[in-house]
Amino acid sequence: MKLSEIAAHIGAAFSGSSGEDIEISGISSPGSASPDKITFVSDAKYLEQGKASSAGAIIVKKGCGFSEKPCLEVDDPYLGYAQVAQLFEDITPLFGEGIHKSAIIDESAVIDKSSSIGPMTVIGANVRIGAHCRVDAHCVIERDVTIGKSVRIDSGAIIRYGVQIGSQVIIQSGAVVGSDGFGNARDKDSKFIRIPCFGTVLIEDGVEIGAGVTIDRGNFEPTIIGKGVKLDNLVHIAHNVTIGENTAIAAQTGISGSTQVGKRVIIAGQVGFVGHINIGDDSFVGAKAGVSKDVDVGARVTGYPARDLMTVRRIEASSSQLPELLKEVKKLRTELNALAER
């Protein structure tokens, strides 16, 4: 691919030495790049590393171009890196085009001829799979599942019955979408009585679901994962949770039933949410937070229990002074006792 094509794709301006017509075969880090590769520098403090790189071209922040090699200047080099990396991603089917002879497919399933199905994958009755999808090996797609266009389902993923999946979705290995929710009632003898789930899961366009993620179906209404949501590995989404569009959730986070997460929320790793609360749009939840009540729109919280981010940081900073503070209190107490005796 010519460098000029890459520049047009990311809306970059040329600077530095000429080279619009050089061929670029991939993207690499500055240290490992060869002359046929492009690299990027996300921060001006790494510009010297970029200049010393053997890369044929470099993506830099506007105003940071240099004469040693062709530079593509953009507002956000890290975003430019992401956009260029997608150009060179290998999206060909891992197990070959078409339907593998060992796949088990119900005769009522409808699969677009441009999609591929890997070995030992099982597809149930009335499944609908759109164009340019890639379903890898040992996947299970149960009855009445609907899948849009350009969806990638990695080996070993399980899509339970009735789940609806939009287009441009990625579901990585080991994910289970549509598992039963954790619902039980207790009788007078303290025995648990399972509550069946009659809802489903709705995955909207552009969602990415990491490895080992589990998403429970709703009790009656669906569990909803909104457009553009990114779920890291080992995230658990309970029944009837709704996650707003373009929210990102890091690994090992668990969200209890019927919690509503807003749009563009950033949730760090190992966060725990109780059920039936609302997390406002554009909020931030720090790592290992325990969220037990509503979070306001735009709020930044962390800690256990979760509180205002800056308040928690001040508390943590103060806690390191507690030993000296305790000594001071003991000293003052001794002096007060002496005064009282007088």
Strand-by-strand arrangement of the 230-231 sheet? 116-117, 134-135, 152-153, 170-171, 208-209, 230-231, 248-249, 266-267, 284-285, 300-302, 307-308
* Max Cα–Cα distance, the chain, nearest Å: 98
Determine which one of 100, 132, 236, 239 is catalytic: 239
Q: Tell me the residue type at 191.
A: K
Check if 100 is active-site: no
The runs of H, that is alpha helices, within 53-197 are: 77-87
Between CA 135 and CA 140, with CA 136 as vertex, the angle to 5 degrees is: 70
Between CA 189 and CA 198, with CA 195 as vertex, the angle to 5 degrees is: 170
Residue 58 tokens read as: 């470099």
Cα dihedral across residues 243, 79, 208, 272: positive or negative:
negative
DSSP letter at 217 equals P
For residues 15 and 73, what is the distance between their CA atoms, to the nearest angstrom?
A: 7
Q: What is the phi/psi pair of residue 289, to 5°?
A: -70, 150
Known catalytic residues are 239
